[in-house]
Amino acid sequence: MDNQRGERMTAPLSFDLITTEGAARRGTLHTAHGTAETPAFMATATAATIKALRPEDARAAGAEIAICNTYHLMLRPGGPRLEALGGLHRFMNWPGPIVTDSGGFQVMSLAKLRDLTEDGVTFRSHLDGSLHHLTPESAANLQRMFDSDIAMCLDECTPYPSSWEKTADSMRRSMRWAERARRAFTPRPGYGQFGIVQGGIDPELRRESAEKLLGIGFEGYGIGGLAVGEGQAAMFEVLDSTVPLLPINRPRYLMGVGRPSDIVGAVVRGVDLFDCVMPTRSGRTGQAFIPQGTLNIRNAVHAEDPAPLDEACTCPTCTSASRAYVHHLFRCNEILGPMLLTAHNTHFYQTLMRDLRAALDEKRLGAFVAAFHERQTTA
Amino acid sequence: MDNQRGERMTAPLSFDLITTEGAARRGTLHTAHGTAETPAFMATATAATIKALRPEDARAAGAEIAICNTYHLMLRPGGPRLEALGGLHRFMNWPGPIVTDSGGFQVMSLAKLRDLTEDGVTFRSHLDGSLHHLTPESAANLQRMFDSDIAMCLDECTPYPSSWEKTADSMRRSMRWAERARRAFTPRPGYGQFGIVQGGIDPELRRESAEKLLGIGFEGYGIGGLAVGEGQAAMFEVLDSTVPLLPINRPRYLMGVGRPSDIVGAVVRGVDLFDCVMPTRSGRTGQAFIPQGTLNIRNAVHAEDPAPLDEACTCPTCTSASRAYVHHLFRCNEILGPMLLTAHNTHFYQTLMRDLRAALDEKRLGAFVAAFHERQTTA
């Protein structure tokens, strides 16, 4: 198999570490569908679409890697249908690397009648009530049908807060599932599978989980079960204790995170990959990310403001639309409002990642982070 | 004032007739904000936005002229606010010519508690119930605040069917309103005002209306009150009797029309300008225009179809997405579905107009029309 550059790939996906600054890392991820520079924020395309944004516009904003969800895709369009259509890349017009989450988190948050056993999880679709069964093996098999470059193992996202016993039980089952998922994974050149570290906010459980996954061996490691209500300080403590346990030559993906300040703090702590619905969901509800924090464009104060969302922003929205216009679109429930704001927020997040990468390249991450916090006044 | 080409404009907007074939005309409209080749289908931007489409994408598809609505814009964002923000062109990022309908039709179809008197129409906003009064003079004044290149006179869109007496009374009041609208219009270089021919499907009332408007004298003429249920044959009969009454050196605009076959038939009968919600509204409800007619992408038959909406189409949707993918997006209620289908339908309509113009340029409209009808199998 050749990758996008025409290079012959014979090994699983790989990760080149370019430089470091403290715990922070600057790297390049190589996959069957091309590369992604890290630290990277992935375009969130849960149901094989970035909501309210064309994929080419996300790429123009700087996104190189996208993430979809096994739970959503197994229900619609379904694994066999997606395989028959040539896989996710062709289906959603995303030629670059694609990660698929296993769906464990979404089964817990979206599906009804969940029966969690050692074998897997049985649930009713939130769409039509139909009954489905997801196991570590079937999740791996579905992700092969999707043709995702990076398949996340099926895990249970431990509810927060949970007792130590429940957190430990949940994590240990996820680790047994990770063993099964690895056995069900078919290695292909340029593809890989990530294990997911669980264990709540307990450092020893996190250590046990990380050691278990390293014993199995994956092409990369997710850090799951965070940004679920524990707060930024607790999340950073988990990263401080967990990230150093992970191998230096494998990518680290902090799942479902987060706000810009979360991302900056996690990059400082050595995380390489991120995803979050925040830029796109905020784009649909009227919240714009700006260097000072956020603003709600529905606020009447913007009704007569001829300035763009952010004077310094070079995105297609800020170079063509005033705050007054975007305000008008949201007041009128016009689809162009979410479209323009999602484009801006995506550009904001991708610019943050580009700036973080540039700071790492130039060994000035510390100064960048100080300036980042200096700017933040509203969030 | 200079137009977009840097030409000094001293006269009102003008219309150059390039060539004709039978009654059909190929022309160029010159306005304060640039030119539009005709026959033209205007981008429908009722509330200062083409629904689910960025203006630059409509322009890339070939749209040169847009139309907004006074009724919608007087309620939100309002005339004074729009004037303070620099007018419609800057507000909605549409540098080209803009027409504004007067809102008469929309008052009748959308607003509540309509009190129609000789002075004007009093209505409650469909948004918040607030009371508003619209007169021929205030509609002209609002359109000046909007800075629209072409202002349509306030008229009453006669309901269909109506008795001869009601149709005559309604038309004659619209003609008295047209006199008042013209007196309230401030001529500016490159700008113009269109009168609107009414009179239902009665040829004599249409003649009376056209003669009255020609006596007043406008920069162009709308043909209103059609496509309201009378059927295509009756509409074409009205055009056959009415269009020849209009001056050859003024643009003719068939308001709110229509399906592709309506447009082709009206171009043959000498119409220059069109607008209709059909390509955008259909794009949001899952209907795609194709050379054979239309298809409903929600239909299960498309769920596994790897082909684009139209194999021969060069639009951004057809060059990147399968029917299966667009079907998936609509099944999932994803915003990208309406975005992709609106882009395709807009491209379809603009391509139809481009092809009509090319056929006229090359004196082969008759053959083009025959081939057009030959292709249509589903609509």
Mean per-residue pLDDT, A193-202: 97
Cβ-nearest to B84 among A90, A304, A335: A304
* Residues with Cβ within 8 Å of residue A83, at least 6 apart in sequence: A145, A146, A147
The least confident of B29-38, B151-160, B282-291 is B151-160
Position A207 in a domain:
yes
Position B230 in a domain:
yes
Is the alpha carbon torsion for A201, A204, A210, A212 positive or negative?
Answer: negative
pLDDT value for A270: 98
- pLDDT band for position A7 (50/70/90)? low
- pLDDT band for position A377 (50/70/90)? confident
A335, A342, A344: best to mutate for the B interface, most B CBs within 10 A: A335
Cβ-nearest to A51 among B284, B324, B334: B334
pLDDT value for A104: 85
Position B2 in a domain:
no
Mean per-residue pLDDT, B200-207: 97
What percent of chain A clears pLDDT 70, i.e. is strictly above it?
A: 97
**What CA–CA distance (Å, rounded) separates A322 from B147?**
17
**Chain A from 238 to 297: CB within 8 A of any B CB:** 284
Position A255 in a domain:
yes
For residue B331, which residues of chain A lie inside 8 Å, CB to CB? 76
Residues B268 and B288 in one domain: no
- The ipTM value here is 0.96
**Chain A from 319 to 358: CB within 8 A of any B CB:** 320-322, 324-325, 328-329, 331-332, 334-336, 338-340
* Region of residue A352 (phi > 0: left; psi between -120 and 50: alpha; otherwise: beta): alpha
Residues B102 and B32 in one domain: yes
pLDDT value for B379: 46
For residue A334, which residues of chain B lie inside 8 Å, CB to CB? 47, 49, 51
Asked if B50's CB is within 8 angstroms of A76's CB, the reply is no
In tens, the pLDDT along B356-365 reads 999 999 999 9
* Region of residue A246 (phi > 0: left; psi between -120 and 50: alpha; otherwise: beta): beta
Position A7 in a domain:
no
Residues A114 and A210 in one domain: yes
* Residues with Cβ within 8 Å of residue A292, at least 6 apart in sequence: A375, A376, A377, A378, A379
**Chain A from 92 to 121: CB within 8 A of any B CB:** 92-93
Mean per-residue pLDDT, B113-131: 91
Q: Is residue A176 scored above 50 in pLDDT?
A: yes
B44, B88, B92, B332: best to mutate for the A interface, most A CBs within 10 A: B332
- Which token pair is B320? 């990147």
Residues B149 and B220 in one domain: yes
Other Cβ atoms less than 10 A from the Cβ of A38: the count is: 29
Q: Is residue B377 scored above 90 in pLDDT?
A: no
Asked if A93's CB is within 8 angstroms of B52's CB, the reply is no
Catalytic residue among A147, A155, A262, A275: A275
Mean per-residue pLDDT, A188-210: 97
Cβ-nearest to A334 among B51, B331, B334: B51
**Chain B from 68 to 87: CB within 8 A of any A CB:** 72, 76-77, 81, 84-86
Position A132 in a domain:
yes
**At how many degrees (to 10) do helices A203-216 and A232-242 cross?**
50
- Identity of the residue numbered B293: G
Residues A84 and A163 in one domain: yes
Average pLDDT of every residue of chain A? 95
Question: Exposed (0-12), middle (13-18) or buried (19+): which is B134, by Cβ within 10 Å?
Answer: buried
Residues A100 and A136 in one domain: yes
B50, B54, B71: best to mutate for the A interface, most A CBs within 10 A: B54
Backbone angles phi, psi at B291, to 5 degrees: -55, -30
pLDDT value for B1: 45
Mean per-residue pLDDT, B166-194: 97
Position A175 in a domain:
yes
Nearest CA in chain B to A85: B306
**What CA–CA distance (Å, rounded) separates B348 from A343?**
25
Residues B49 and B190 in one domain: yes
B85/chain A closest Cα distance in angstroms: 6
Catalytic residue among A101, A149, A155, A262: A101
Nearest CA in chain A to B76: A328
**What CA–CA distance (Å, rounded) separates A284 from A344?**
11
3-class secondary-structure state, position A351: helix
The residue from A219, A246, A275 where one domain ends is A275
Q: Is residue B255 scored above 60 in pLDDT?
A: yes
In tens, the pLDDT along B273-299 reads 999 999 999 999 999 999 999 999 999
Position A26 in a domain:
yes
B324/chain A closest Cα distance in angstroms: 8
For residue A339, which residues of chain B lie inside 8 Å, CB to CB? 52, 54, 335, 339
The residue from B216, B240, B273 where one domain ends is B273
Size of interface A-B (CB pairs under 8 A): 108
pLDDT value for B365: 98
Q: Is residue B8 scored above 70 in pLDDT?
A: no
Asked if A76's CB is within 8 angstroms of B303's CB, the reply is no
The residue from B273, B302, B337 where one domain ends is B273
Q: Is residue A111 scored above 70 in pLDDT?
A: yes
- pLDDT band for position A109 (50/70/90)? confident
B147/chain A closest Cα distance in angstroms: 16
Residues A255 and A331 in one domain: no
**What CA–CA distance (Å, rounded) separates B155 from B218?**
15
Asked if A84's CB is within 8 angstroms of B320's CB, the reply is no
Residues B269 and B315 in one domain: no
Residues B314 and B251 in one domain: no
Q: Is residue B239 scored above 80 in pLDDT?
A: yes
Q: Is residue B6 scored above 80 in pLDDT?
A: no
pLDDT value for B4: 52
Q: Tell me the catalytic residues of B.
A: 101, 275
For residue A336, which residues of chain B lie inside 8 Å, CB to CB? 49-54
**A301 near B CB under 8 A:** no
Cβ-nearest to A304 among B47, B85, B339: B85
Residues B165 and B143 in one domain: yes
Q: Is residue A191 scored above 70 in pLDDT?
A: yes
Q: Is residue B113 scored above 80 in pLDDT?
A: no
Mean per-residue pLDDT, A256-277: 98
Asked if A86's CB is within 8 angstroms of B336's CB, the reply is no
Q: Is residue B7 scored above 70 in pLDDT?
A: no
Asked if A76's CB is within 8 angstroms of B328's CB, the reply is yes
Asked if B304's CB is within 8 angstroms of A81's CB, the reply is yes
Q: Read out DSSP for A201-226?
A: T-HHHHHHHHHHHHHH--SEEEE-S-
- Please state the domain count of chain B: 2
Adjacent-strand bridge partners of B17:
B27
The least confident of A62-76, A232-246, A302-316, B114-128 is B114-128
B282/chain A closest Cα distance in angstroms: 15
Residues A163 and A271 in one domain: yes
**What CA–CA distance (Å, rounded) separates A151 from A143?**
6
Residue B75 lies in domain: 18-273
Cβ-nearest to B339 among A85, A321, A339: A339
Asked if B76's CB is within 8 angstroms of A332's CB, the reply is yes
A50, A51, A53, A54: best to mutate for the B interface, most B CBs within 10 A: A54
Q: Provide the CATH number for the domain around residue B170.
A: 3.20.20.105
